[in-house]
Structure 1
């Protein structure tokens, strides 16, 4: 398929299935499992922590099928923005897509900041005398360096992500291989008494914490959906990249988790001053193969952390661009770099928020950042998309859907239950941090920002709703057409009354 530029967007469909899957897997794996295994063990109180990764996989797959259907049918830059714009325009105008972009400007870079936090943690294994201030400076330097790396054409970044994906695979394979050369079933499956007492409240509190950590480790399966306007044959590529990445990472995580628990005593991971707590993969390598190999693989893990942050920021920076271009967000975000054709202000804003999130996590703890980003994400994006896939099936049954969710509506119900558990237990799993209250405050601020914006732009509720159903008149998303995603057609936009 030839490169097809969109005259308004400037995006070109250059990313194929292999690159798309590599982008997803690099963002999903990254530093996540290397820093969260001790957190998962602490949540469950023993090696039964593997349950958290299994629960996270089930939720990721159920939610991934939602993304697969929406991403294949509406492959535009911005992912959820496109889906929520189409689904909720009938009742609340442009409120929901605006709120999504508003919250995404927070939760996406917060997620990336955890990768930088993990980078500094593992760097501490190679640099044991690193001070708090030196670690802060290193993390800020990494953040700036990633923004600089993304200051180029997307096909150059896509090639780089394939290289970094290979590094990620190598680092995980080496850690798993080291773990299973010194594997002890007694350590891996030596569960403490009452480990699976389903009648105890502490089990379900730990399960909710583990589910939150587990889904955090899987986040990134939707990265290519944010880049729908740059994916070749998106109707086929987006679903395959999402599902393949989830299944591949699920296998990797289970091997990594079980291998680690079979090599190290899980009680060591609860000691905040031990290497098993701050750099668990390095501790596995050192115990199995010695200090030299541990140092070498730690370098690969550092590169893996960079890969995850790079790919996440690459996809996330596209979110405010499409919304601003469609006059659903602040107009300055609609500017592309004149030469390299990437969204300038979105990249810079998310880079700045990522730096702030890194400093917050460094001076509190990683769990706090994970709880904050997941609660903000759940309240607008995750729950709203569960509704969106059903709303669009009812409101737009004629929409071309190259992929339809398997076993509908079961995956939607599983995803709904999982997200509600994560949100409902957030305060209990982050005592004193109040993630639920902060998420509600951020959404409330977004509503105020929307009203100010809508009044200036004369949009609902200060003007008529504008229903856009141009996507219903489009051809198969994989047909040769401009790469702007779900765009309207002339005459497809109309104003309706407030009750429309």
Structure 2
């Protein structure tokens, strides 16, 4: 770690408008997630109540978005949570530790997020082409390489690409929803009523564990915060883009689930590895199923595009701030984007995509991030409200501080729901980060030494 700000680190240009920021959020949120998670959620709950897991995921995202909206509008900078944590806890003391831990975790969990999408991509590709285990790994690694090559360009070009990929996302989801609702073998109302009322027994049946998987499908509603310094009129557009994204994606997810189960019984859905392909094949035949599978792959590819774009700004922001290796603070000399950060995270994502399985990655991603990022940010916002005037927050959530308190409680519940092994792995990564921070602080004679 070099305590220097790169001399050639320039200000990132404000070139992404509201539509482009919302598109990047939504394609980040969808990805391969709902197409591979839908059967897993049903397996976890073991009944038609699975729909509540998707509702709970949307509710958690919406509540947490109030925290992100206040922070993102007040501090629209590259790096998102890195800056939020540093400012909230104090830039010279505890804020240094929390922001360091966020970057530390990002170096591990961001490539894991990209790897999860590329592994899911390869899984669905197996419907089209018979692939053995190593061939699937090579496909997932190849997808990461292509994503890096596409992102190696100016941000305004990326904004235009995002709109095209967004159209593919909406087309795929729309086809599934319209096809299911117009060809339902069971009345849609019957599917919804089968879920029954919410009871305490439902939580015992696995609603918390199932919600861990659905939240994975909603993650990304805050992607625009990582691009804060590149968003036009960020005080207005950052909050609006997040809430539009959550409401829109929640509606698409719920309609997609109801559509699928209205055609294929949930007992059969939970056994399918290619539920979208099976669904379309049931309705329109194998040729249409192949076309649907291609669209799913495009959606997965689109999400990886948005994910790696957002996370590549985090090490850049930390390095430009003098709290990370100065090599990451350098922007491309002609295209003006953090190319070294992009290449580093892309390389790790490539390695992870060859090593890990999708089922192990999804829960670990969430368990690793909850304590420092989600709970840490919410507590940090409470501290900021205590120390700063109201005018410091261009966006103010209704009923403050109730949404913040609810966010902290819910995230704690989700963290426990990941299970002891994943909780332990997340806390271990955090502990190692604290040790690394203390060692570096000792060498550089900085706080707390």
Matched, 1:376 2:363: no
In the alignment of these two chains, the number of paired residues is 442
2:167 matched to which residue of 1?
166
Query: Cα deviation per residue 1:418-470 (whole Å; 9 max; x = unaligned)?
Result: 21111112126xxxxx21111111111111211222233332112xxxxxxxx
Following superposition, the deviation at residue 189 of structure 1 comes to 4.5
Matched, 1:351 2:353: no
Query: Contact 1:282 / 1:295 at 8 angstroms: preserved in 2?
Result: yes
Indicate how the Cα distance of structure 1 residues 197 and 308 shifts in structure 2: closer, same or farther if over 3 A, else same.
closer
Q: How does 1:88-103 map to 2 (within 5 A)?
A: 88-89=89-90, 92-103=94-105
Following superposition, the deviation at residue 186 of structure 1 comes to 6.1
Following superposition, the deviation at residue 354 of structure 1 comes to 1.9
Q: Distance in 2 between matches of 1:188 and 1:292?
A: 30
Following superposition, the deviation at residue 195 of structure 1 comes to 7.3
Aligned-residue CA RMSD (Å) = 2.1
1:253 matched to which residue of 2?
253
Indicate how the Cα distance of structure 1 residues 184 and 406 shifts in structure 2: closer, same or farther if over 3 A, else same.
farther
Query: Contact 1:143 / 1:351 at 8 angstroms: preserved in 2?
Result: yes
Query: Contact 2:212 / 2:417 at 8 angstroms: preserved in 1?
Result: no
Structure 2 gap ranges (5+) = 1-6
Q: How does 1:1-12 map to 2 (within 5 A)?
A: 8-12=9-13
Query: Cα deviation per residue 1:118-154 (whole Å; 9 max; x = unaligned)?
Result: 2112111111x21111111111111111111111111
Q: Distance in 1 between matches of 2:320 and 2:444?
A: 13
1:497 matched to which residue of 2?
none
Higher mean Cα deviation, 177-186 or 418-427?
Answer: 177-186
Following superposition, the deviation at residue 92 of structure 1 comes to 1.7
TM-score scaled by length of structure 2: 0.93
* Counterpart pick for 2:436 among 424, 449, 458: 449
Q: Distance in 2 between matches of 1:218 and 1:319?
A: 20
Q: Distance in 1 between matches of 2:200 and 2:317?
A: 48
Query: Contact 1:225 / 1:238 at 8 angstroms: preserved in 2?
Result: yes
Following superposition, the deviation at residue 326 of structure 1 comes to 0.9
Matched, 1:15 2:6: no
Query: Contact 2:114 / 2:144 at 8 angstroms: preserved in 1?
Result: no
Q: Distance in 1 between matches of 2:267 and 2:427?
A: 36
Higher mean Cα deviation, 279-288 or 182-191?
Answer: 182-191
Indicate how the Cα distance of structure 1 residues 150 and 190 shifts in structure 2: closer, same or farther if over 3 A, else same.
closer
Following superposition, the deviation at residue 191 of structure 1 comes to 9.1
Indicate how the Cα distance of structure 1 residues 203 and 180 shifts in structure 2: closer, same or farther if over 3 A, else same.
same
Following superposition, the deviation at residue 400 of structure 1 comes to 2.7
Q: How does 1:90-489 map to 2 (within 5 A)?
A: 92-127=94-129, 129-185=130-186, 189=190, 198-200=199-201, 203-204=203-204, 206-271=206-271, 277-362=272-357, 366-397=358-389, 400-427=392-419, 434-462=421-449
Q: Alignment partner of 2:263: what SS?
A: coil
Bigger fraction of residues in helix = 2
Following superposition, the deviation at residue 188 of structure 1 comes to 7.9
Q: Distance in 1 between matches of 2:198 and 2:176?
A: 32
Following superposition, the deviation at residue 112 of structure 1 comes to 1.9
Query: Contact 1:178 / 1:289 at 8 angstroms: preserved in 2?
Result: no
Q: Distance in 1 between matches of 2:390 and 2:194?
A: 55
Query: Cα deviation per residue 1:223-281 (whole Å; 9 max; x = unaligned)?
Result: 1100001011100110011111111111111100111111112122333xxxxx21111
Indicate how the Cα distance of structure 1 residues 182 and 142 shifts in structure 2: closer, same or farther if over 3 A, else same.
same
Indicate how the Cα distance of structure 1 residues 47 and 353 shifts in structure 2: closer, same or farther if over 3 A, else same.
farther
Q: Distance in 1 between matches of 2:348 and 2:221?
A: 22
TM-score scaled by length of structure 1: 0.84
Q: Distance in 1 between matches of 2:181 and 2:265?
A: 14
Q: Distance in 2 between matches of 1:296 and 1:154?
A: 31
Indicate how the Cα distance of structure 1 residues 51 and 340 shifts in structure 2: closer, same or farther if over 3 A, else same.
same
Higher mean Cα deviation, 159-168 or 117-126?
Answer: 117-126
Query: Contact 1:35 / 1:118 at 8 angstroms: preserved in 2?
Result: yes
Q: Distance in 1 between matches of 2:192 and 2:31?
A: 28
